[in-house]
Structure formats: structure tokens, C-alpha cells
Structure 1
Amino acid sequence: MLKDFFGKKKKYATIPSEQSKLDIPEGLMKKCTNCHKIYYRKEMNKNNNVCPNCDYHHPLTAWERIYSILDEGTFTEWDSDLTSTNPLEFPGYEEKIAKDRDKTGLNESVVTGKGSIDGQPAAFTVMDAGFRMGSMGSAVGEKIARAIERANDASLPFIIFTASGGARMQEGVLSLMQMAKTSVAVKRFSEAGGLMISVMTHPTTGGVSASFASIGDYNIAEPGALIGFAGQRIIEQTINEKLPDDFQTAEFLLNHGQLDKVVHRHEMKPLLTTLLSIHRKGGENV
């Protein structure tokens, strides 16, 4: 039985017997994918989906991320009805999109809007890897570009949490075009004096890592996040060299100057609060 999971003596739920499994509601327990300890799901949720045993950062949905960072009741969503079409008539694509809509409750793999962090307003964008692995198609790129432009118009800082497998292959070159579109939007935002904070979570790969995710004023990441363009095996086969085991992890990128900081999930909101305070225009909320 799980007792005082945050106390000095951490106890973990034991694996239930076949008989006791019949009495446990489905979805009550959650197993850490890293250390394989078993917890009550509600207790893991209270810990922001971070394993209390090994500190592994389990994925958060877009809305879980929003609730964990933004002040309660301050979030206003933008472009919630914007979603993908099937411009190339890729077989089965529309059915897969519909399935992910039902599974996640989202229309696309990104949620954009504005809210406050400890009373400080910001444009806030979150990608959700549960929807088509967070892949970037035309609608995703359009939503992100629009969010950056709205942040610019309102003189708001722009914060984005990325989680993506890269460009969405079912949309072909239209998907790849989003790399340029979002990067141009960031460039214009930067030239206008805007503040962009990019937080890369596991995984941030492909065209997303090679575009807007890596060009913030601050580029930070969660512990253990996979960040990179091509896969490690592809790179090894291309250069005929064995790469380090921690290659493309957040910690590896930090050690090689490609990140500003690796931040624990429990410390994320205080850090964002500090950064927003430092850059607040004229010392006042905008």
C-alpha cells in the first residue's frame, strides 16, 4: 500500500495479486517507465508527473502543462478551431487525425493562448506529443506563427513548450514550409524587442528542433529530454563513428553550449517568473 509518498520514508505500491487486480479500478495505478516503480496515479499527478523515486519526467498533456504553470483562471485560448486538412489526399490521414482528436480532446497538437504567471501576462504555447506525436503540419505552424504575431501586437513575452517528433510527413513540403514561417515570425518578434522563452521537453526533434524551438532568447529544457534533428543511428551511419550514450539529451546539449539551462519541472514556474520579472517593460506589467 502506498503511504505518505512525499515523506522521508517513501513506500511504493506493491504489484497486486491476480485476485486483488479485480478490485482495482482501471487506470488507478501508474508504472514509472524508467525505474518501474508502481504508484497511485493521483499521487503521481500531484507530483506533476515526476517520479518521486528516480526523478524521471513523464510527459504532460498540453492542458496539464497549462494548469501547472499559469495562474488559475487566467488562460484564454486562441485559434482553438484551427485544424489540419488533407491537402495531399494522403490515405488514412483524416481518420488518424479524427482518432487523435477523440483521444486527446484537442483539434491539433498545439494549444496557443495567453495567461498570467504569478500575475505577469504572457503569450503561452504548448505542444502535445499525444496528438500525432506533436508533429508539425500546416495548422500547427499557422497557430504558432499567429501566436507570435499576437504576442508582438500586444507587447507580450512569448513562451513555448515544445514536444514533437518533427514535421508531419502526410503534408509533405507544406509541413516543411512551417519551419521557415515560424522562424520568420520569431525573427520579426525579436526585431520588435519581444522576449521569447523556449522550453524543450521530451522529445523535441526534427523540423521543430531545427526551427523555432532553438531560437529563443532563452533556450531551456527539462531533464533527460531528447533534443535533436536526425536520429542517433542515422548520424552514426553517416559519419561512421560511435556517438556518446547521452548524445542529444538535454544535459549533453547544455554541456556543449546549446542550451542555457536544464530546469526541473518543479522549478520551472519560479524560473519563468524570474525571467519575466527581469524583462518586464519599465518595471511594470504589460
Structure 2
Amino acid sequence: MNNALSTQKLQSNAKQPIKVEAVETPLLTTLQDPPSSSIFGQYKRLVIEKMLSDIESGMDLSSACQLNIDFNDAMLIYQNALKLIIHENGSSNYKFVSQKRQQISSHPIITPTPLHYHQEVALANLCFDNIEKLCQSKAGKRELAEFVQIFYEKTIPSKPEIRFPFKETKQFYGYLETALKILPSEYWRINICKYTPTTVIDEVTGEKSFTMPIDKKETGHAIKKFNEKFADFKGEIIQKPIYSGFSLSMIRPNDKGKPTKKQPNSVMIKHIVHWLLIMGWEKN
């Protein structure tokens, strides 16, 4: 992962964050009691969010954490959050925080983008619950670390999907297997399409234009292979010439919590991965 995202353990004498060779959970371990969460350790997500929000409003770190979070833990959480929105050269990183979000002080925005719809909040809570279950094993922790790294590397601020060329089919399948453990398949949309950009010259005017005809044979073959691999997939599979390969996006829930196929969305998944990175879930 990008060196700008290097995450320290929340105590200097603790084990290092997640590695593929030896997976360890980056828990907040300042308190002596057993951690309540594999993601947030001893602290509640809302408590951490309030601290980061107070810093955004101009409060200093020691005042923002007060008695709710150990200062050393607070410092490392804050450093993680800051590194995610500012590149090493000092320029802004808009992978997780949109350029449209307005600062309320001289401090940049560091909290994950809020989820405004009650259905998305409920679905996000389900995802966090499923992540907790996934983290009960070392294999699950390894899966999560891989998922977070791939999402970070491939997410594009202007696109609602994660894209994989056909040469990365194996990686896409692995990524999707983890995604389906986090969020039920009916909330995922997959665009599978093979096309070749083609130049067309008008015989009358001589003007050039570009088309992207779908290779129906290759596209059909890729969809068939996918259906064989994921026979129980209940989401939407489409074939549009927006990208030659696999494009994975989330289907936003409607006011009843059911998938709404007309509303592609990446805000909720980005919100969850942003939290995971703040809390140290990355592969070094």
C-alpha cells in the first residue's frame, strides 16, 4: 500500500499491523479489558467520529479526545485519518473525502463521509457486523486486508465502481468473494463487457468517429464463466461498453431497504473502507 498510508500500532510495544505473512489485528489495546470490536477496539465508532469531527472544527487533539480516548491512541488514529486525505507532497487526496465537502475551520475534513439515509446506515451496520464475523479467523483478517488494499488502489473519486481488466479475473473473483461476505449479493451490480474501440470513417464526409462495439462472443463467455463460479449471485449483471473488463458497484437501497437497481452508488462502501483504513486495516 502507498507509504502515505503506513499505519502504526496503537501502542509502541504492540505487534505490527496486518501483514499477509502473519496477520495481526490492529486493535486499540490501551485498556486492560478484552476488546469489544475487531475494528474499533475498546472504543465506540461514534466516540472516534466525535473526536475527529471536533478536530475538524478547530479543537486541538488533547481537548478533542478528553477522557474518552487514550491520548496515544487518539494521536495514531488522527495520524491515520490525516494521511488518508493528504498526500506526502502536501496535496489533497480526494479518494475518500470529496472536494465538495466544505471545511468548517482551517483544518481539512478527515471524518468519513456521513451516510444520510437511514436505509444506508442500517446496511452499513450490517456490513460492520459481517466484518466482525470475518475477523474471527486469521484467514478472514487476511481477506479483509486484501480487500481494503485493492479498494484503495482501484477506487476513483469520479467513478461509482471498482474496475478490473480481464487479465485480473482471478483478483476480481477473490475481491468479490470477500465483498459478498461483507454485503449480500443482491446489493451488488457487475458490468461484464468486452469491447474494442473502433474508428469509423464516413464514406460521404470522410469524418472520423469512434465506436465501441461489444464483442458478444467474448462477453458471453466471460458472463458464462462468472455464472459458473458464482451460481448463487443475486445481484445485477449488465453488459455496457463503459469499461472492457469487470466493473463492480453497489446498488443503493430504497426507502424500504431493498436494492434499487437504478441508483448506482459507492458512498456506503467507501464510508466503510475509509473507517477500516483509519483503524489500521491495511496490508503492508
TM-score by length of 2: 0.29
Greater relative contact order (Cα < 8 A, sep 6+): 2
